[in-house]
Structure 1
Amino acid sequence: MKKTISIIMAVAMSAMLFSGCKKNTAETPSTTPDAGTKTEENAEIVNGRFTTTRKITVEVYDRGNEGGSKPEDNFFTNYIKEGMLRDHNVEVTFVPVPRWTEVEQINNLLAAGTAPDIAVTYSYPTVQTYAKMGGVLDLAPLIEKYKDLLPNLTGLLTETNINYNKDPETGTIWAIEARLANQARTNVFVREDWLKKLNIPEPTTLEEFEAMLKAFKDNASLLLGADADKMVPFSTSYDIGWRADHLLASFVPSTITEKEKYIYGFDDRKLLFPGIKEGVRKLNQWYNEGLIWKDFPMYPAGDKTEDNMMKAGYVGAFIHNWDYPYRDGENSINNSIKRVAGEDAAYIAISPFKNDAGKYAKFLPDPVDRKIFFPSTNKEPLASLLYLDWISKLENHMFLQIGEEGVNHEKTADGAIKMLSATGDKIMNSPSNIDYTITLNGLDLGDKELTLKSMALSYVGVDAKYIQKAYDASILDGVFTEKVNAGAIQAEEGMGPALNEKRDTLLTQAVAAPANKFDSVFDSGLNDYLNSGGQAIIDERTAAYEKVMGK
């Protein structure tokens, strides 16, 4: 309720803020720009540079990393600032936004009229909400007018990502989609050394996985000695939909239709997909049998307690981002458990959950990532587009992704890039610096074979075999969803944060409920979700799909 009221207030504030806007597109020139041609009022480009210095602000995620650098002021931000000033005469200022509450924060900034000129979010409904009120620039005419100045941006994203959100009726583009270079999503990880110690083969079925968890619990003293009481066979977090992804996906019928995936797919955790409830029931069973971390509901987004338990060597298995235990250099989970549990300690990715067709089905994403948009308070849309073009240039995003040779990486004999553990100002706060390469998520060195080789070497202190195994497991039997461009769904506008919170609460409470209360807790939470806007979205999506695709 607190967040819902906050959103309503934000919307009301935005309506007041933008009520005087006559239109939500930037002034555009009457002629196609080229060197020496005026490109917007009082702006002139000569040899790619403004003749007078322009100033823009850019959002950057603050992940609160222990030992990290200031996300808005470090070696890599300086690289960008110097490059933009040199190449385009544009001054750049970075605005940090907390990663784990980014939707709420960007809502507040938009409502106050203080959002960065270049904003980034994973929530497209948030963008749509403010676009409807005149708070977001339409990028379609801007990209069309300035396309000759944006070869790197259009080359990297292609028509697919640039037009991904293009309204089929109005032609508006409120946000362009960053390119997801690597479509690996999540993985199931288990302690390899514990499997060996208990002589357990890698589980390949749900039953074998469950037996493994019970073996971890029953052999806590053997595995953890004096710390046996700290044993956590399986760990998860408040975000059950993400953190139990492979397990839940295995309960979705293989016969699910493209229509069902579109109608119910507005929730990116697949809450409404058929079969999900039974997957949550299995988690509830494990929780009541003492196989799941009992305190997981207590810790909010961004809390490090769970990671610290993994690093201390107390956790036997978990599901998370496809490369999660290998991230963060010397401070990674994998490197940390070696220091406390010995060199043999390691997490490996496995594939234990089959669906009704005998496949290890995983719902993999389209090649799209964060949504990049310009609030209507942006007075420098061309400078902002040039910024996106600059970071999309191969040599620039390569440097941001791999850093300095001898400091952030070294080259192997075959030319592959092996990452090193940097210190101080040259630490990367996010994997491959994705918080600065906002048009690109995933390593891209301009050569597919070289990129794949380097990706396996991009994790400090981690044998490449673990990375290759994790990548292969994450995409095994991947399921993709047909892209349906049915236009904006009005019922979704502004509902993302509120519905996501209800979803997370419902799933958390259902997992932690007494076994005999599971159905009532799950069903009442789902009804609340549907009555709070979910059903309206389902109904509108159904009508939109049938209008475009037929019944």
Structure 2
Amino acid sequence: MRIRQNVGILLTAALTVGLVGCGGNNGSNSTSSSNNSGNASSNAANSTNTTNSANTSNSTNSSNNGGTSNTSSEEVGTVDNLKITAFNWGWDNADPAKDVVLPELKKRLGLKDLTYDVIKTGGYDDVVQKLQLWASTGGSDWPDIVTTGSDSRTKLILNNLGESGKLEDLTPWLEKYPNVKNAVEKLLPFTSDPHDGKIYSIAQNFSNMQAYAIDQPTIWIRKDWLDKLNLPLPKTVDDLYNDLKAFKEQIKDVNGQPVIPYAAFGENFRNMIKLFFPPDQNDGTGVWYTDANGKPARSDVSQSDNLIRALTFYNKLYNEGLIEKEAFTLKQGQIDEKGNQGRYGAVHGAYWEQANPFTDSMKKTDPKAEFVGVQLYDPTIASGPSLPKFRLEAWSLWAVKAGLPKEEVNTFFKTLDYVLSEEGTILTKYGLEGQQWERNADGKIIDTKAFFDETQGDWNKRAHFGIDVYSFIPNYDALIKNQAPSGYELREDMIETWKNLGSKFPTEYVTDPQRYVEPGDVENKATVGQGERYKQLVAKAVTAKNPDGIKKLVEDWGKNVKALGYDKIVAEREEAAKSIHLENLK
């Protein structure tokens, strides 16, 4: 699964396994390391293998060599065969004929067999249905060790199974393996059962504030056009309006085609309406926050004045021709065509979506052409720009079936512990030294020329060699320490963007519990179709010939939302927030 975030991936090729980036070829297939272990080069072991290696060589080996101090008074042995189950719905998996990681991982762990069983599905909803089917049998069909998604439906299934004694409480194992506990500790409040406080699942892949650079500033603007007109970078929404107007009046056309000052909305509905609200209190409809009275609130309903001001601002841009008349019907392909032609003065989105591709296309005919990112603010409600805050979240979870031999569970945690070591991270993330990777002059890991020529950095092609397939749990510190900067980090437009923002990374976590509450049954039923209705509200307000009617549109919107059960949703969310504990993020 490709992870879509509000921050860009600094560590190229997302950390992946199971639900987050590996796949099978046909239906259900297993990748086993019981054969062909001789195909793994010893180069990686020669260069990185240390006493931290997890040599679980036989079923009675209880040495805890995976970089963990054994906090349990009871020594537990290991098994020499381990099976892990994961899901896939469309990406490539390791090719047994090319896989160099799994045989080497098995060898370093001292396992005779490490089987990675991949169940292929048509989509994520099919994954949830499969979990529900397993759960309906009382957990008898549940795999011994499985990685799942982390949505509210899946968490409910896992907690219900755990409470009925079908899943292992992982709390004692986290105490036994402090490296694993430290890796997932900040996320435990999101995975602990809200009823009994036990831990029936732990994060498998998750976000990290120090590893994800800001990829989506308020807006990307044509720096070369500003320079041509001797205009500074905009700071406020009013500055942006003046710049857009100058683009229309003074740049006028590009290769005979009229300039389009601002690419807003389109089929992906890109805009900056949230800028007209206090930070973290609006991102379109459906985003909740905690108000001054400690109650859940939704800003499109509770802050009507700010929404009116935002829509009035866009209405002015629309009626003055600073955004396209077709703004709400444009397909992304149409926007891309105009952007590549160099006709837009400002765009939205993550760097890889529009800004960087447009810049690259424009530079073919105009070397000075360049979009750079800036963070704006609305002086009505803020005294300066604010950086995006970072939302900590798990994208996938581990769950272990109850009643397994302790030796099997111990072997699984030893495997996690080894993958968390720097040595294990380098193996699972990059492959074998000399074959897939080498170090550059700065001591950072880069692809060997032969490996890059063969894969061209393509995630799926790299996965054929086992790269990123067996990253069972991420060690971000090791990745940050070892990985060379990616190509986009070295781009001049990105360097200037982060300079404009004042930071390359977010500096604060989102700490409002309402931003972490999953929608409940009441909310899901009451808000069916509301996202599309919100887009219709925005389109009607922005394209109105007379802005005087915007106030009534917004007031009517609020009344309709409340009539559909807003107060019941507030009560449901208020109760749900009681189980969200974010003290460790503050």
TM-score normalised by length of structure 1: 0.64
The letter for the 1-side match of 2:192 is K
Report if the CA contact (8 A) 1:263-1:538 is conserved.
Answer: yes
Give a deviation string over 1:414-454, Cα, whole Å, max 9, x none: 4356789946545344999999857559x644566x77xx5
Report if the CA contact (8 A) 1:264-1:538 is conserved.
Answer: yes
Deviation at 1:535, TM superposition (A): 3.5
In the alignment, the residues of structure 2 paired with residue 419 and residue 470 of structure 1 have an alpha-carbon distance, to the nearest angstrom, of 31
Report if the CA contact (8 A) 2:430-2:468 is conserved.
Answer: no
Q: Which residue in the other structure is 1:170 paired with?
A: 196
Deviation at 1:547, TM superposition (A): 11
Q: Which residue in the other structure is 2:152 paired with?
A: 125
Aligned pair in 2 of structure 1 residues 541, 389: CA closer, same or farther (>3 Å)?
A: same
In the alignment, the residues of structure 2 paired with residue 165 and residue 390 of structure 1 have an alpha-carbon distance, to the nearest angstrom, of 23
Q: Which residue in the other structure is 1:27 paired with?
A: none
Determine which of 363, 366, 369 is the counterpart of 1:342.
366
Aligned pair in 2 of structure 1 residues 250, 545: CA closer, same or farther (>3 Å)?
A: closer
Determine which of 499, 508, 523 is the counterpart of 1:469.
499
1:510 aligns with 2:538: yes
Q: Which residue in the other structure is 2:222 paired with?
A: 191
Q: Which residue in the other structure is 1:143 paired with?
A: 170
In the alignment, the residues of structure 2 paired with residue 201 and residue 57 of structure 1 have an alpha-carbon distance, to the nearest angstrom, of 51
Report if the CA contact (8 A) 1:59-1:120 is conserved.
Answer: no
Report if the CA contact (8 A) 1:249-1:363 is conserved.
Answer: no
1:313 aligns with 2:342: yes
Structure 2, unpaired ranges of 5+: 1-55, 63-74, 135-140, 283-287, 582-586
Aligned pair in 2 of structure 1 residues 292, 406: CA closer, same or farther (>3 Å)?
A: farther
Aligned pair in 2 of structure 1 residues 202, 232: CA closer, same or farther (>3 Å)?
A: closer
1:364 aligns with 2:385: no
3-state SS in 1 of match to 2:573: helix
Q: Which residue in the other structure is 2:47 paired with?
A: none
Aligned pair in 2 of structure 1 residues 52, 351: CA closer, same or farther (>3 Å)?
A: closer
Aligned pair in 2 of structure 1 residues 521, 532: CA closer, same or farther (>3 Å)?
A: same
Aligned pair in 2 of structure 1 residues 208, 483: CA closer, same or farther (>3 Å)?
A: closer
1:536 aligns with 2:568: yes
Aligned pair in 2 of structure 1 residues 467, 278: CA closer, same or farther (>3 Å)?
A: closer
Determine which of 114, 126, 136 is the counterpart of 1:90.
114
Aligned pair in 2 of structure 1 residues 141, 212: CA closer, same or farther (>3 Å)?
A: same
1:209 aligns with 2:236: no
Aligned pair in 2 of structure 1 residues 503, 412: CA closer, same or farther (>3 Å)?
A: same
Aligned pair in 2 of structure 1 residues 111, 339: CA closer, same or farther (>3 Å)?
A: farther
3-state SS in 1 of match to 2:499: helix
Report if the CA contact (8 A) 1:249-1:362 is conserved.
Answer: no
**Identity of aligned pairs, percent?**
14
3-state SS in 2 of match to 1:482: coil
Report if the CA contact (8 A) 2:387-2:501 is conserved.
Answer: no
The letter for the 1-side match of 2:152 is P
Report if the CA contact (8 A) 1:239-1:504 is conserved.
Answer: no
Question: Is the radius of gyration larger for structure 1 or structure 2?
Answer: 2
Give a deviation string over 1:83-122, Cα, whole Å, max 9, x none: 5554453322456779xxx76555455456599931234x
Report if the CA contact (8 A) 2:128-2:153 is conserved.
Answer: yes
TM alignment of 1:224-373, pairs within 5 A: 224-228=254-258, 231=260, 233-237=262-266, 240=269, 244=272, 247-249=275-277, 259-260=291-292, 263-264=295-296, 274=303, 275-276=306-307, 278-292=309-323, 295=326, 297-298=328-329, 306-307=335-336, 309-321=338-350, 323-324=351-352, 333=357, 336-355=360-379, 356-372=381-397
In the alignment, the residues of structure 2 paired with residue 290 and residue 115 of structure 1 have an alpha-carbon distance, to the nearest angstrom, of 59
Deviation at 1:257, TM superposition (A): 8.9
Aligned pair in 2 of structure 1 residues 76, 205: CA closer, same or farther (>3 Å)?
A: farther
Deviation at 1:228, TM superposition (A): 2.6
Determine which of 156, 160, 168 is the counterpart of 2:186.
160
Deviation at 1:472, TM superposition (A): 3.3
CA RMSD after TM alignment: 5.5
Report if the CA contact (8 A) 1:238-1:299 is conserved.
Answer: yes
Deviation at 1:203, TM superposition (A): 0.5
Deviation at 1:312, TM superposition (A): 4.3
3-state SS in 2 of match to 1:364: coil
3-state SS in 2 of match to 1:370: strand
The letter for the 1-side match of 2:187 is N
**Count of residue pairs brought into register by the alignment:** 477
Give a deviation string over 1:208-244, Cα, whole Å, max 9, x none: 111222233345643x223337x3623345565x753
Determine which of 424, 427, 449 is the counterpart of 2:457.
427
Deviation at 1:538, TM superposition (A): 1.4
Aligned pair in 2 of structure 1 residues 498, 176: CA closer, same or farther (>3 Å)?
A: farther
Deviation at 1:56, TM superposition (A): 1.5
Aligned pair in 2 of structure 1 residues 346, 263: CA closer, same or farther (>3 Å)?
A: farther
Deviation at 1:125, TM superposition (A): 2.7
Deviation at 1:202, TM superposition (A): 0.6
3-state SS in 2 of match to 1:320: coil
In the alignment, the residues of structure 2 paired with residue 304 and residue 138 of structure 1 have an alpha-carbon distance, to the nearest angstrom, of 52
Report if the CA contact (8 A) 1:410-1:417 is conserved.
Answer: yes
Aligned pair in 2 of structure 1 residues 495, 264: CA closer, same or farther (>3 Å)?
A: same
Q: Which residue in the other structure is 2:68 paired with?
A: none
Q: Which residue in the other structure is 1:67 paired with?
A: none
TM alignment of 1:519-534, pairs within 5 A: 519-532=551-564, 534=566
Give a deviation string over 1:67-86, Cα, whole Å, max 9, x none: xxx44357999455445554
In the alignment, the residues of structure 2 paired with residue 510 and residue 190 of structure 1 have an alpha-carbon distance, to the nearest angstrom, of 23
In the alignment, the residues of structure 2 paired with residue 162 and residue 220 of structure 1 have an alpha-carbon distance, to the nearest angstrom, of 54
Report if the CA contact (8 A) 1:131-1:174 is conserved.
Answer: yes
3-state SS in 1 of match to 2:385: coil
Report if the CA contact (8 A) 1:127-1:175 is conserved.
Answer: no
Report if the CA contact (8 A) 2:166-2:402 is conserved.
Answer: no
The letter for the 2-side match of 1:191 is R
In the alignment, the residues of structure 2 paired with residue 50 and residue 190 of structure 1 have an alpha-carbon distance, to the nearest angstrom, of 58
Report if the CA contact (8 A) 1:205-1:352 is conserved.
Answer: yes
Report if the CA contact (8 A) 2:168-2:400 is conserved.
Answer: no
Report if the CA contact (8 A) 1:192-1:346 is conserved.
Answer: yes
TM-score normalised by length of structure 2: 0.61
3-state SS in 2 of match to 1:193: helix
Report if the CA contact (8 A) 1:237-1:296 is conserved.
Answer: yes
3-state SS in 2 of match to 1:92: strand
Report if the CA contact (8 A) 1:203-1:352 is conserved.
Answer: yes
In the alignment, the residues of structure 2 paired with residue 95 and residue 272 of structure 1 have an alpha-carbon distance, to the nearest angstrom, of 43
